[in-house]
Amino acid sequence: MSDRRSRPADTGLVAALAERLASVLSPERGPYPLHAPDLGPEEAHAVADCVASGWVSTAGDRTHNFEAALAAATGAAHVVATASGTAALHAGLVAAGIGPGDEVLMPALNVVATANAVAHAGAVPHFVEVEETGLGVDVAALAQWLDTATVVRHGVRRNRVTGRPVRALVVMHCLGHPVDLDAAAALARDTGLILVRTPPRLSAARTGMARSAATGCSPPCPSTATR
């Protein structure tokens, strides 16, 4: 979205982040895994119970109970469990009408699954700036880019360089830091973008009036919408 080479302050930022990490992580106790499963007897019993019941697919009482509990916790009208976060995001994008030739905006600090889901829908991932505090989409920088680098023709916002329609913005809550969903939703509303939120790294964190524990899209889409 912008030329990083024109921002010499980035070197200082990287050094500052490294120093901050070193201050809280003891090298004697490392290495520190980014993702480590926390599995114990309760999880082992649950798996054994599923095997004994014969329901080891996306159906069965445990799946239905999980969907009901998540709907109650998040206030979502509907919850559908999928086999992976990638599958959930892909389903949400397709339900929102994202398809071949569309550009989908997403933060540059991300996991490959987000871009994969966009590609599976036939669309093109477009990485955008990340803000330094919460590590999510830099809404202010994105608003400026949309104002200068896109144009609305016949009701469709298009990238001036590629000519492709810019259809959606995917926000990700990175490493437990909630994105400012109010700001992202306002930008999406003002620019006609579909807002898709994908929180595989965040469970039950709150931001403003919204809970961030449910994947959804806005405007409402048929199967995964939350407003």
The per-residue pLDDT for 213 is: 40
Phi-psi region for residue 58, left (φ > 0), alpha (ψ -120 to 50) or beta? alpha
Cβ atoms of 136 and 107 within 8 Å: the answer is: yes
The per-residue pLDDT for 1 is: 53
Q: What are phi and psi of 186, to 5 degrees?
A: -65, -40
CA 147 to chain centre: 23
| pLDDT digits (tens), the chain, 227 positions | 544 444 555 677 778 777 777 776 666 666 767 777 788 999 999 889 989 988 887 778 888 998 999 889 878 888 888 888 899 899 999 999 999 999 999 999 988 999 999 999 999 999 999 988 888 899 999 999 999 999 999 999 999 999 999 999 999 888 777 888 899 999 999 999 999 987 544 444 444 434 434 444 444 333 333 32
Cβ atoms of 176 and 204 within 8 Å: the answer is: no
Q: Which helix (H) or strand (E) holds 98?
A: none
Q: Indicate where the chain has its CATH 3.40.640.10 domain(s).
A: 84-218
What is the amino acid identity at position 88?
A
d(CA 155, CA 132): 33
Cα dist from 214 to 14, 55, 207, 219, whole Å = 32, 24, 12, 15
Q: For 84-218, CATH number?
A: 3.40.640.10
pTM value is 0.75
The per-residue pLDDT for 23 is: 73
Pairing of strands 206-207, 210-211: antiparallel
Q: What is the side-by-side strand order in the sheet with 166-172?
A: 124-128, 103-107, 166-172, 194-198, 216-218
Query: Which of 135, 74, 140 minimizes the C-alpha distance to 107?
Result: 135
Q: Which helix (H) or strand (E) holds 223?
A: none
Cα dist from 125 to 27, 73, 113, 162, 166, whole Å = 36, 31, 11, 13, 10
Cβ atoms of 194 and 96 within 8 Å: the answer is: yes
